[in-house]
Structure 1
Amino acid sequence: MKTHTTGLKILVPLLALGLLVAMTLPPPFGALAEAQFPKVHFRGTATAGEVIAPRCSNYVVGIRVDEILQDPQGELSPGQKVAVYYQTTHGFRSGDLLEVFGTSYLTEGPPECADSVVVEEAEGDYIGLMVKFTGTVLAVAQRIGGTTWTVEVEEVLLGHPISGQVDVQWIIAVPPCQGSYDPDIGLCDGVEVHGMYADGSVDLCPSADYYIRTVRPAVHFYLPIVLLGQIAEE
């Protein structure tokens, strides 16, 4: 009994010490990032092509800041060069126009990500190519979750050179889709598209600046019913 009591006398102070140490430890990295490190949103030009990242994440691209959309701590300035890390390869090339939304470690942060912006795509961050082009609508698919327009590209007005058929998507999502569209767009209409391009499709949702709108309504020819009947008889 005496030995048991002695053991308790030693154990209780040790437990108290452990609890005290646990209370003074910093929060997990994810919670720390959410609490202390701001989100930044900007557009810019790739100064070099995408490369495999030696640290912090899987890939990295250098970007010159052209337009600042969100910068709560004033860490960005036009012309500044920023390293942006991300998880999924996009094959960015020098000169590509990019839009970035991610966590800023430009002032402080983990050593492996110092002086950079990190895009956590699984957490709703994004990095992508900005494009603007005109084309002709080949198909319209309206679903409960949104609308997809298949557009044949005719002229690229801004950004990455693309060609052929591109799906333009407006979807119901969380957070809400910010882009806009003309609800009357139909087959064969000429349209102008501005959005974020990746893997053969354009996403209108990341920015309120993105859109698909009619610039050249399709011309439809209607023949009188009587004339159609005569053609059928012949």
Structure 2
Amino acid sequence: MTEVLTDERIAGVLRPFVRAASPVLNALREADPVRLRGREIEALGDGAVNKLLRQLDSMQLPGSSTWDSMSVDERCDWWTLRVGRFLALAAGLPRFGGAITSRLPLRNALGITGQSLVLCAIAGEHGVTDPAVKVRLIAEVLLDREISPELAAGTAADDEQAQELTEDLDASKRKHGKATVKAVVRTVWRMARALWEIDSELDKRPQGRLHHQMLGNLPVVGVIGGYLGERSALKRIGRKGAEWLGRNGLRR
């Protein structure tokens, strides 16, 4: 018999997750792969390296002048399409074995982890910093649950659990002075394992279209169906997240 999860149980899982999401997103948002911050691009001359830097500065990357000039909606699209692409691929990989591996809780846990991170990123771009609001956003958009503000608020215990989820990020910053890609990946896996606690609810999350699911049930090429399905779902989630923020007077 499938366990019926209460709102309190779901909120208890989402609260530390949302708190852990902030440093993960900060690591991605603050990434400056070509060290554009602090450079005066136009003053660097016309050498080949500097021409390349100017081209990179015109790309939609955090730290570039293009990023600084982007609208809120454009930044939300960036999170959904660019960062979501990596997370969607990770969620699609369990479908490599077709119908058998697609049933593994790993796929749903990774999928909802990516979707939740994108929702948190979108909320952040709209100026939302309250973790309780993000808990309610994720619960309603992904799980069709209306969590009360009281349940979403959380306690000091949530901060302790969040620190456990992000200990790889903290260790990386102490050792390397920044969050490495490996540390971010390990943290995402920890977060996915934490969401296994509500596995019976994870099928409610938005998923791919019927043709994506049919392709996902085939061996080997199932990974393509899983990838395309997660990408499709993330686009819908981005729209639903913005609509939820608008309904609650939080959209910029």
Q: Would you call these one fold, judging by a TM-score over 0.5?
A: no
Instruction: Identify which of structures 1 and 2 has the higher relative contact order when contacts are C-alpha pairs closer than 8 Å and 6+ apart.
Output: 2
Structure with the larger strand share: 1
Larger Rg: 1
TM range (shorter): under 0.3
Give TM-score, length-normalised by structure 1.
0.23
Give TM-score, length-normalised by structure 2.
0.22
